[in-house]
Structures are given as structure tokens and as C-alpha cells.
Structure 1
């Protein structure tokens, strides 16, 4: 006689496990502790087998009968329901292992360790905030261009066009890694060229008027913050390297004998070593700061601990403290300031300027210059720049800034 919902609900445990049969091999197994398990007993290949169909009350009598009928239908087709269950579970596990999220995390662990901290943080944030919630659980090889575009459209919808482009670039790197490791056949993001709204044009605010530069130098000279932050401001102006390179400067990179800052390739955006000639003023600042931080690794250690350098916001906040908002001057703006004045005011060679900015510069034959190319000339240029900044500061203090323009 078939079971009823009441009989299932009222079945009490006994000293030994017992069965309550329904029909066609479906039964309820009640164990001595009171747990109730749905089971289907069947024969396949001449052997008696049992298939688990769930636990009561999570799986009701009605649900158990539906699962039982599905298993019987497979048996009628000559399939072993138990084996089919194992295949389905394996398929799900393989799909999870090859999901976009799992492949992306594997890619991140293999590729990202040698990248800068800020780049790693930004990339991880894009993955976790923008990509994983939408396509993270999808098999990486099954994602098509329209699905990828839909994920990027969600980012665009909040007005974050720049992040949408970065997310597309990051996803493309993950897909190409999946192709290389046999988890996908192609990169669907490659078909989305031109499908996104243009990036928001962003320019780093910079002061390029000599008189205003003089006022900036006076403000930096009078900065009332810590010696570490003040020196970071001063060297940002004198050396005009990228903010991330300035703040992560290490004492081991300072070649005192040759008056150079030698930056290893792993710290550079272009992944090539870079040499920065140190002018007299920069050397004096470093010698003075060495008394304070020279025993540690970083020239500009964090106030939270010498094991790390100052944060990417330190110079920016210092500029705000001095009254320079983001529309007037940024930490990155020191580069544009030097680039403009060295060219338009001091008349320095453009290739020397570009080389000193660590931009890709090639010779007449199209070959990239090595890191020591024109080093003597660049050293003279850096000293000329430092002397000019001093001149602007002195003239501003005297109330008489003069523009010295190239002939």
C-alpha cells in the first residue's frame, strides 16, 4: 500500500533501522536516531542497487516520488540512475573548476605577483565587484560575446566607462589564459572592439606657468608636515618620476657613487630598468633623510610601519593640505609640469625629456634606447631643472618671477 504524507511524518524511530515502502522500489528508511531517508531500490546489470533521493522533511513524499519517476525513466532507457547521478555530479564539479571565477583566480595567482600593489588591488576589485557577480559561475569556455557585453554594460550603466574598459581588458587576459590552458577555445572580449562607450578623458592637473610653479615651490618649502612627506614632495618636483615609483623608492636603489637612482624593471610601468640622474639638490635631500630612514628598506617608509612605503594618497593629501585641489595640481602633475617647462621654457631636447620620463623612446633606426643612453646630457638637464626650480622659488619669495624662455 502506498505511503501517505501523514504516515511519513508520524514514522517514529525504533531500536533498529526499518523501511516503509511506497511503490516500485521507493521506500523511506528510518534510522534509530529518527532521521528519515528516501531511497530507491532497483536492479541494473543483474545487480541490486540503491539510489539516495534525499532526506525528509527537506524532500517531501511528493518530491521523492518525482525524483523516483525520473530515475525509473532513465532505467527504462537502459541507463543506470546511480551512474548517471555520478556523471552529473562530476560534470558539475568540472564546470565549477572551469568557471570564469576559478580560472580568473588561478590566473591572478600566477600572473599578478610581480605586478605593482596598486595594479593588483585594482584588478582584484574589478574581478570581485564587476565580473564575478555576473559571469563568475559560468563555464569560462561557454561565455559568448553578448554575455560578456552585458556584464560590461552594467558597469557603464553607473557611468564608470573607464572601469568598463579596464574590466574588458582584464576579462580578455583571463580568457586568453583559459585558451592557453585548454579551458576555452577563444577570447569573446576580442569581438567587443568598439562596442563600449569611449573612455572618459582624464587629464592629470598640473601647474605649468613659471610664476605658479614658483608659488608651488615656496609652498612645498614651507610644508609643515613630516620630513618624510616633505622630502617626497620635493623629490616629486625635482625628479618627476611616476608617483608610485617615487613613494616606493628604496635605499638600495640609490647609487651614491655615480649619483643615480637605479630603478629595477619590475617597478617600472614599461618593465624596463630606468636610471634617474640625481642633481645636487636631490642628493642633499636624500643624505639628510638617510639619517632618519636609512636603516630601513624604503626611503619613504609608512607611518604605520617601516615594512611598507607611504601610501599612494600621501603626496596627494599633502598637496590638498597646501591648498592645491585636484583641479589645480596632482601628484602625477609634477611630470607634466617638468615636461612642459623643460621643453617650452628651458629648450631641452625632447628625446632626453621623454627618456627621463621613462617613456618609450627610439633612435633613428627605430631601436629602443637603453637605460644609460644620453645619461651625461640627461644629468645636465636634471641639474638645470633643479636650479631653475630654485630660481623660481627665490624669485617668488622676492616677488619677482621672470619667465626665461628659449630663444
Structure 2
């Protein structure tokens, strides 16, 4: 059997050589001078070799102790190398569960990993719904101990109050548990399938008819107790055919008053593509008046009155329509449908209409070849729409424009000068009335 002095005294040679101890344990002396503990064994007739560390970090006594444990495993038919690997993985897994294994920690990591590519408004909504309905129930629970029955019960409870929120929560949970699988915390996803929730009764956003839009605009003009920024936000939703969140979350840095254009960045758009919006004369007038109402250092067009670092509250414009008596007849988002219906009925170019609405082309092959942005046509169309809105606000009869004079048609487009001659009174004051 070896002694510590023998191991210390061993000199390196041109080739590696062994210093045997007992029972298959030996020191491998390398040409570079390192001395490595090795255990040679046979299991089911197959030779194996286990590394037990390096001398002097692993002393002779330590090596013999590890060797003795490994020999016991071999006697039981257990591969000592695999047993040690399993033990290391088990310890690492236990530590992972201790530090990162509860629902709250996994949720935070998932949020950080996925939130960067989402719109800020989407992240805010997601966090709000999770913190209200999931965090109180599951935050400190080990994620591996949460069962499908528990998740189903939680979703059913929320569904009774808010079906759409329950659907959102199920989607969040699916992502959270998939992230836990990828992190090595769990092996299976316990989130229940969509069928546990009632089928969505999907309806389009209600849109105001021309008569109702005319009535709504006149009521919007007449109300004296309305915050002026809210009135302007509502008019911009109507005039630009943009989504409500795109308008209320707008920033001054996106507006080019000299070019009469609004460039909404991709991260704020539903389809994840930047959207160019030509601004009619009416929109320009509103923005100039808004600039005088909003503090010069404001980032947002419509800063939240309670917290200027956030944009206008999401439901402000919906609440305005309800307040004016149009609940169920239309929504701010439905103004896009009113715009689309008007120009589709008038025979305007579908491509121009869809570009104004920031819709992805339905025909992918055609879209791949047609790179035209229709900027001039879109400017004419939105100016014509603003003039038409003027007529509705004044409750004037339709101009009776023929198909061939609608901007964006195949036969030609109405120029801005023609639009001005058709409606010379266009323009808004801060009260929203024509100047």
C-alpha cells in the first residue's frame, strides 16, 4: 500500500505511470507532474475507470474513503461514476428548486424573458392580471407542487367574473409552466386545456352608423364639462382611423408637424410594424391646440392626469362614449370599421383603405411583390375623411361624390385643393367646433 511520502516523492517521467495502492485504487503520475487518483473496477464483466480527484488536494486518506464507497456501489451492481453524476444533479436540482422553484420566482423570470418583445401596454396589462388573480394564490408555492385541479379551479373562479381575463391567465400560465420545463424545474405542463373554459362568444366591435356618428360628434362638441384633451383624443381616433391605444399612447417624438405626418413605431403597433399616418389639416389643427394644453416637457400627447409619466387611462374614451349615451352602439375601436365601411361603400381602393388601417395584406404573394406604400393616396383619403367628418359634425347632407372622384380609386384621386374647395370650412377650435 502507498504512503503519502511515496506519492510526494514520485517524479514525472516521459510517459504517465501508475502507483498502485489496493483494490484497484492507484495514482496516475503524469509527465507534467500532476498526480491523479483513479479507481479501476469491473462491473458485469466490463472494465470501468473512476476519477477521484488530484493529489495533494485529495489526500491519501480521502482517496481511500472515496474508493471504499465506490467499491460498495460496485458490489451492489451500481456504476460509481453514474451514481456520483446522479448525486451532483440531484444536489443542483434541489438548489435550483430552493432558489428559483417557487411560482413567484419562475413568473418573474418568465416575465423578464418574454416582456422585452411586447408592447409596454401589453406588459402592464399582463402584470396587472397576474398580480390580481395568480400571485396571491400561488406566489410562494413550489411550482412543481401546483396541480392541474388547482389551476382549473383558479381559472373557473376568475371566469365567473371576467371570462376574457380567465383566457388571458390561462395563456400566461401556459407560458410560465413551459418556461419552468425549459429551466429544468418540472417535466410536464399541468395547465388545463382551453376546453375547461367556456367558448368565447366572439363579436366584432360595434361601429356607429353615419347618422349615429353625426349625432355623436355633435354631442361631443356640445358637452362643456369634458376635459379638452379627452375631446381631442376622441377626435384623433375618428380622424386618423388608428386604434385607440395607438392614439392615447402617442408621443410627441413621433409627430412631425412640418411634414404633417405621424410615425408610430413598431413596438406600439398590433402587427409589430411601424405605421405612417398622414395628418389632415383638421388633425394638424388639433395637435397644435393640444401642444398648447400639454406641458412642454410631456413625453405623451395625452399624459395621465394622475401620473404624467403614463399615458391616458385605457378606458377613458370608452367611458366617454358611454357617458354620451352610445354604449352598445359603438366603441372607439369601432371607428375604424366606420371609416372602412364608408370608403368601401364609396368604391375606394381596398389597398389604400387597408394601409390606412395598418392591416397586413391578405394576399401574401401579392404583398411580397407590391411594395407601394400608397402614401399620396392615403393622405388624400384621410383628408377626404376629415372633410366628411366635418359635414357629419355640422349635420350637412352628403356631398354625393361619385365613385370616380373618391381618392384611391382606379380612375384617379381627389387632390387636397379639391378637398378644400369641397369643404372650405374645415378646421377645429379647442372646443372641437369648426373655426
- TM-score, structure 1 as length reference: 0.66
Equivalent residue in structure 2 for 1:181, among 180, 183, 198: 183
Aligned to 1:284: 285
Aligned to 1:334: 335
Change in 2 beyond 3 A, CA 1:199/1:254: same
Aligned to 1:100: 103
Aligned to 1:256: 257
Aligned to 1:310: 312
Aligned to 1:123: 126
Change in 2 beyond 3 A, CA 1:192/1:318: closer
Looking at structure 2, the residues matched to 303 and 281 of structure 1 have their Cα atoms a distance apart, in angstroms, of 25
1:320 counterpart = 2:322: yes
Q: Alpha-carbon deviation of 1:370?
A: 9.5
The question of whether the paired residues in 1 share the 8 Å contact of 2:248 and 2:311 is answered with yes
Q: Alpha-carbon deviation of 1:195?
A: 3.6
Change in 2 beyond 3 A, CA 1:307/1:197: closer
The question of whether the paired residues in 2 share the 8 Å contact of 1:363 and 1:369 is answered with no
Q: Alpha-carbon deviation of 1:147?
A: 4.8
1:381 counterpart = 2:384: no
Looking at structure 2, the residues matched to 178 and 227 of structure 1 have their Cα atoms a distance apart, in angstroms, of 48
The question of whether the paired residues in 2 share the 8 Å contact of 1:361 and 1:368 is answered with no
Change in 2 beyond 3 A, CA 1:174/1:370: farther
> Residue 179 of structure 1 aligns to a residue in which SS?
helix
Note the 1:25-174 alignment, pairs <5 A.
91=94, 94-95=97-98, 97-112=100-115, 115-141=118-144, 143=146, 145-156=148-159, 158-174=160-176
1:228 counterpart = 2:225: no
1:217 counterpart = 2:220: no
Deviations 1:21-40 (A, max 9, x none): xxxxxxxxxxxxxxxxxxxx
Looking at structure 2, the residues matched to 371 and 252 of structure 1 have their Cα atoms a distance apart, in angstroms, of 27
Q: Alpha-carbon deviation of 1:198?
A: 0.7
Change in 2 beyond 3 A, CA 1:358/1:294: farther
Looking at structure 1, the residues matched to 370 and 232 of structure 2 have their Cα atoms a distance apart, in angstroms, of 29
Q: Alpha-carbon deviation of 1:282?
A: 0.7
Aligned to 1:204: 205
Tell me the C-alpha RMSD between the 2 structures. Answer: 3.2
Q: Give the greater-gyration-radius structure (CA).
A: 2
> Residue 261 of structure 1 aligns to a residue in which SS?
strand
Looking at structure 2, the residues matched to 184 and 143 of structure 1 have their Cα atoms a distance apart, in angstroms, of 11
Looking at structure 2, the residues matched to 173 and 403 of structure 1 have their Cα atoms a distance apart, in angstroms, of 53
Which sits farther off after the overlay, 160-169 or 126-135?
A: 126-135
Deviations 1:195-251 (A, max 9, x none): 4321243443320x2222222222223342233122112111101211111111111
Looking at structure 2, the residues matched to 366 and 139 of structure 1 have their Cα atoms a distance apart, in angstroms, of 51
The question of whether the paired residues in 1 share the 8 Å contact of 2:205 and 2:330 is answered with yes
Deviations 1:106-137 (A, max 9, x none): 22234335644543343223323333455444
Q: Alpha-carbon deviation of 1:368?
A: 6.3
Looking at structure 2, the residues matched to 129 and 364 of structure 1 have their Cα atoms a distance apart, in angstroms, of 41
> Residue 105 of structure 1 aligns to a residue in which SS?
helix
Aligned to 2:82: none
Looking at structure 2, the residues matched to 315 and 370 of structure 1 have their Cα atoms a distance apart, in angstroms, of 36
Change in 2 beyond 3 A, CA 1:371/1:212: farther
- TM-score, structure 2 as length reference: 0.63
Looking at structure 2, the residues matched to 350 and 266 of structure 1 have their Cα atoms a distance apart, in angstroms, of 26
> Residue 310 of structure 2 aligns to a residue in which SS?
strand
Q: Alpha-carbon deviation of 1:194?
A: 3.2
Q: Alpha-carbon deviation of 1:276?
A: 1.0
Looking at structure 2, the residues matched to 390 and 229 of structure 1 have their Cα atoms a distance apart, in angstroms, of 19
- Which consecutive residues of structure 1, in runs of 5 or more, have no partner in the other structure? 1-86
Change in 2 beyond 3 A, CA 1:144/1:120: same
> Residue 348 of structure 1 aligns to a residue in which SS?
coil
> Residue 326 of structure 1 aligns to a residue in which SS?
coil
Deviations 1:156-205 (A, max 9, x none): 3x25332221111111121232233333334443x614343212434433
Change in 2 beyond 3 A, CA 1:318/1:162: closer
The question of whether the paired residues in 1 share the 8 Å contact of 2:281 and 2:383 is answered with yes
